[in-house]
């Protein structure tokens, strides 16, 4: 299949004209589309039930289970897009990296990557390595009808931070030590990860994902000059690798107020914004020609229904002049969120913005 032909899932009647894809393309929308990072997951009792006794990474490799978990929040909340249920470390596991996801901790890597010899652990990813992704996306696009499916991957920096630290990290000391201490090894590591990430996103688009999001969750730890020099080339390579498919590319990170312009420049069509920068100011930083996604503070989901509406209204007001706006949280749904608060928030945004 040539890259400018529509992959299977793209041909679903109505998907192309969905509010979500229209907003990503900065076209007029019937209402502001809403989805939530981590909408599938621990906040939902039906998720906790189907996951019982099944380790996190195992759950990502069972196509029927992935399909069910991905659909759960779509059924419950009436969101405008589904996000493929997986984790950013799944492609690393698939190429044989010895890692596990420890409950309450996150990804833990058995042999951290800190030397040139360690790079050999990172072989190319083939579609066969992630056959369950292709199968699950086939099942999903059939079930979702016109609702778009978002594929995703971890960005090279955020993946590198887990691989180099060996697990979650607050200050990314080992990662920065490598980045500054051996710039060539760092560049080669990020380039390897860009290749793997590109291959993984291509698998998802070819199987029918209608948009992709690159999660650079922890890149807000960097100053702009370091981002430009040491990270942007690899992220830009990923965006270029999937450009010809014509599906919207979303670029997200946390604490990235000072990086928003560069994250757009890396090749995104939609830039994700957390709650620290209002969307009108974010639009000035990103510049014209891109849609924005965000930026409701997830902590406010624990407040009263009235306070949630006031805050949602603020987000919508700040978004009023944007070329395109996808309503989302500034980061993922916290595991202890009351799911009804999410359902009500979707309903509120839809009714407030109905045109």
- Residues in contact with ligand CP3 by the rule CB under 6 A: 37-38, 40-42, 56, 83, 85, 87-88, 101, 103-104, 106-107, 152, 158, 215, 217, 332, 335
Catalytic residue among 51, 229, 240, 344: 51
What SS3 string covers 110-144?
CCCCCCCHHHHHCCCCCHHHHHHHHHHHHHHHHHH
- Rank residues 32 and 213 by Cβ distance to ligand CP3 and give the closer one: 213
The answer to whether the peptide bond before residue 35 is cis (omega within 30 degrees of 0) is no
Task: Look up 51 and say whether it is catalytic.
Answer: yes
- What is the spatial distance between Cα 252 and Cα 215, in angstroms, rounded to a whole number? 5
Closest approach of ligand CP3 to the CB of residue 40, in Å: 6
SS3 180: helix
- What is the spatial distance between Cα 68 and Cα 60, in angstroms, rounded to a whole number? 11
Catalytic residue among 25, 76, 87, 229: 87
Closest approach of ligand CP3 to the CB of residue 39, in Å: 6
- 13's CB contacts (< 8 A; 6+ apart) are 146
Closest approach of ligand CP3 to the CB of residue 41, in Å: 2
Which residue of this chain has its Cβ atom nearest to ligand CP3 in the complex? 41
- Rank residues 59 and 120 by Cβ distance to ligand CP3 and give the closer one: 59
Catalytic residue among 22, 26, 38, 285: 38
**Residue carrying structure tokens 């949602």:** 312
Closest approach of ligand CP3 to the CB of residue 87, in Å: 4
Closest approach of ligand CP3 to the CB of residue 343, in Å: 17
Q: Give me the long-range contacts of 67-71 (CB less than 8 A, separation at least 24).
A: 67/136, 67/139, 67/140, 67/143, 69/40, 69/41, 70/40, 70/136, 70/140, 70/149, 71/140, 71/143, 71/144
Task: Look up 75 and say whether it is catalytic.
Answer: no
Task: Look up 38 and say whether it is catalytic.
Answer: yes
Task: Look up 85 and say whether it is catalytic.
Answer: no
Task: Look up 25 and say whether it is catalytic.
Answer: no
- Rank residues 6 and 343 by Cβ distance to ligand CP3 and give the closer one: 343
> Counting beta carbons within 10 angstroms of the beta carbon of residue 182, is it exposed (0 to 12), middle (13 to 18) or buried (19 or more)?
middle
- Rank residues 49 and 355 by Cβ distance to ligand CP3 and give the closer one: 49
- Rank residues 28 and 104 by Cβ distance to ligand CP3 and give the closer one: 104
Active site residues: 38, 42, 51, 87, 162
């Amino acid at each position: 299949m040539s890259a400018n032909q529509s992959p299977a899932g793209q041909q679903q009647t109505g998907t192309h004209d969905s509010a979500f894809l229209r907003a990503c393309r900065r076209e007029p929308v019937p209402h502001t589309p809403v989805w939530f990072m981590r909408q599938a997951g621990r906040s939902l009792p039906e998720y906790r039930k189907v996951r019982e006794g099944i380790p996190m990474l195992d759950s990502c490799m069972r196509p029927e289970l992935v399909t069910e978990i991905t659909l759960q929040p779509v059924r419950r909340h009436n969101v405008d897009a589904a996000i493929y249920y997986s984790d950013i470390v799944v492609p690393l596991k698939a190429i044989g990296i010895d890692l596990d996801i420890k409950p309450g901790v996150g990804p833990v890597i058995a042999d951290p990557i800190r030397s040139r010899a360690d790079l050999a652990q990172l072989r190319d990813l083939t579609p066969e390595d992630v056959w369950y992704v292709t199968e699950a996306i086939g099942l999903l696009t059939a079930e979702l009808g016109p609702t778009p499916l978002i594929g995703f991957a971890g960005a090279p920096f955020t993946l590198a931070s887990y691989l180099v630290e060996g697990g979650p990290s607050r200050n990314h000391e080992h990662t920065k030590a490598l980045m500054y201490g051996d710039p060539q090894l760092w560049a080669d590591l990020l380039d390897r990860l860009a290749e793997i990430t590109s291959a993984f996103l291509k698998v998802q688009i070819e199987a029918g994902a209608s948009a992709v999001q690159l999660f650079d969750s922890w890149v807000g730890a960097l100053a702009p000059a370091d981002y430009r020099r040491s990270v942007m080339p690899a992220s830009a390579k990923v965006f270029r690798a999937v450009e010809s498919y014509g599906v919207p590319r979303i670029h997200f990170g946390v604490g990235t107020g000072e990086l928003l312009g560069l994250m757009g420049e890396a090749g995104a069509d939609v830039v994700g914004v957390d709650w620290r920068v209002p969307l009108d100011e974010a639009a000035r930083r990103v510049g014209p020609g891109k849609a924005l996604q965000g930026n409701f503070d997830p902590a406010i989901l624990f407040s009263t229904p009235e306070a949630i509406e006031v805050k949602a209204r603020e987000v919508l007001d700040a978004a009023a002049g944007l070329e395109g706006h996808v309503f989302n949280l500034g980061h993922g749904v916290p595991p202890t969120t009351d799911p009804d608060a999410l359902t009500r928030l979707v309903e509120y945004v839809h009714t407030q913005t109905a045109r």
